[in-house]
Amino acid sequence: MSISVNTMRAIDHWVGVPLCALLSPIVALLDGLKNITSRGPEAPKKLLFIELSEMGSAILVDPAMRNAQARGAELFFLIFKSNRASLTLLNTVKPENIFTIDSSSIGGLIKDTLRFLIIARKHRIDTAIDLELFSRFTALLTGLCGARRRVGYHIFHGEGLWRGFMLTRKVHYNPHIHITKNFLSLIHAAFAKNIEVPFSKIHIADSEVRLEQAIINPTTLNTVRDRIEKLSKDSDIEFTQGKQRLILVNPNASDLLPQRRWAQQRFSELIKLLHQRFPADLILITGSPSEFEYVEKVRTVANVKHALNFAGQVSFAELPSLYTLSDVMVTNDSGPGHFSAVTPLRTVVLFGPETPALYGSVGNSISITANLACSPCVSAANHRKTPCQNNICMQAITVSEVLEKMEQQLRG
């Protein structure tokens, strides 16, 4: 069984804070000795990104990674083992340069953490960038990995979220610009020749947020197409790719923040209306293998022949092919909204506890949010944990509103 999110938050606080306090002076002392004995490279040569828990962030950080790559840095990445596949959609980092930590158990977490600290030093990583928003665990990994240049977000005069003095280049996290631009500010800090307090005193233009498109394997594309057509035939539905449109409905969201979920009943109602409006088109209700029962409830309540349970029918590597074959997708604010951005697929993404201003898809997407006075209620300042048990922000999004935006995307 995997470690729960709340357990990881508790460990990060009750263990992370004392460790940061204990190890900060040691790290500072080692930095002082290194400055006396040797000079590091003038610019990053071997650059490590640390982002453990968010699969979508592997897409959102890609413009920053390519920016660093274009400046001549060899890229490395540390991520939880369960999220490693998210780095394969664009393959910006070489497979052999991806390090993983198994978070399925405390023992595995400790073992892989120690193993990583040894491996990072063997690779002579000179620059580490902590992409996490004020995690003590990643701050410790950054401080202890052996890199002379260590970049990440620092709280400065803010209260709480203290995580020691593990960074050599402290960046101000800006909660008013998109996270992709925040990531690009870390790259500026890593390559800056002069120290700033705080980093980064630059303007990041919208044009710098450019996301590459996934390279689609024709064989994989045909495999996914055949699978869809076979499932349709088995369900006594006439469907031929190109003759009818393919509509994706992704009703679930990760357990990291269940308040992001739009109600099952709403998705079922939406499917009914989509079928009434576009009776010839095929609707696939998507999800992971573990979400099959959740998806089946949505399908059963909708009771639409042209809506099929497609949970677990494609592997993660096959997602870009599925998205390329499809015409539009509606999803909660979750990974698929970001994964689809590496394809031409048009999406409609529903936001509640978080805001599209910071975490909106950078693909061909329309965001819907109720803009309640309490939203967003999760942020870097509270480790993305909310006391809310009644997500009115999601309930306020109507079926007719979502249908209208999906029709807009289909017309486009």
Cα 106 from Cα 8, distance rounded (Å) = 10
Give the N- to C-terminal CA distance of the chain in Å, as an integer. 44
Residue 88 lies in a domain: yes
Q: 234 and 162 in one domain?
A: no
For 242, the token pair is: 């190109």
User: Do 229 and 377 belong together in one domain?
Assistant: yes
Q: What's the distance, CA 350 to chain centroid?
A: 15
Q: For residue 359, give Cα distances in angstroms to 137, 176, 234.
A: 23, 11, 39
Domain that includes residue 124, residue range: 5-208
283: in domain: yes
Together in a domain, 202 and 85? yes
At residue 37, the pLDDT reads 58
- pTM for this model (two decimals): 0.93
Same domain? 140 vs 288: no
Which phi and psi (to 5°) does residue 406 adopt?
Answer: -70, -40
Whether residues 197 and 232 share a domain: the answer is: no
- Does 41 share its domain with 183? yes
The enclosing domain of 400 has a CATH number of 3.40.50.2000
Same domain, 157 and 260: no
In a domain, 214, yes or no: no
Q: What pLDDT does 2 receive?
A: 65
Per-residue DSSP letters for 59-95? HHTHHHHHHHHHTTPEEEEEEEGGGGGGGGTT--S-G
Whole-angstrom distance, CA of residue 305 vs CA of residue 292: 17
Cβ-based neighbours of 95, under 8 Å, separated by 6 or more: 88
The reply to whether 17 falls in a domain is: yes
Per-residue pLDDT of the chain (412 residues; tens, 9 = 90+): 567 778 888 889 899 999 999 999 999 998 888 775 566 568 999 999 999 988 888 999 999 999 999 999 999 999 999 999 999 999 999 999 999 999 989 999 999 999 999 999 999 999 999 999 989 999 999 999 999 999 999 999 888 789 999 999 999 999 999 999 999 999 999 999 999 999 999 999 999 998 999 999 999 999 999 999 999 999 999 888 888 999 999 998 667 788 899 999 999 999 999 999 999 999 999 999 999 999 999 999 999 999 999 999 999 999 999 999 999 999 999 999 999 999 999 999 999 999 999 999 999 999 999 999 999 999 888 888 889 999 999 999 999 999 999 999 999 7
| Residues 162 and 224 grouped into a single domain | no
147 residue type, one letter: A
Given 146, 173, 208, the domain boundary residue is 208
The percent helix, strand, coil of the chain (3-state, each to 5) is: 45, 15, 40
Q: Are residues 279 and 299 in the same domain?
A: yes
Looking at residue 87, its pLDDT comes to 95
Distance set, CA 1 to CA 108, 337, 385 (Å): 12, 27, 22
> Are residue 188 and residue 281 in the same domain, yes or no?
no
Is residue 405 one of the residues assigned to a domain?
Answer: yes
**Cis geometry, peptide bond prior to residue 376 (ω within 30 degrees of 0):** yes
Looking at the fold, whether 296 and 198 belong to one and the same domain comes out as no
Tell whether 280 and 334 lie within a shared domain.
yes
Tell me the two tokens of residue 411. Answer: 């017309």
Number of domains in the chain: 2
> What's residue 41's pLDDT?
62
The answer to whether residues 167 and 149 touch, using CB atoms and an 8 Å cutoff, is no
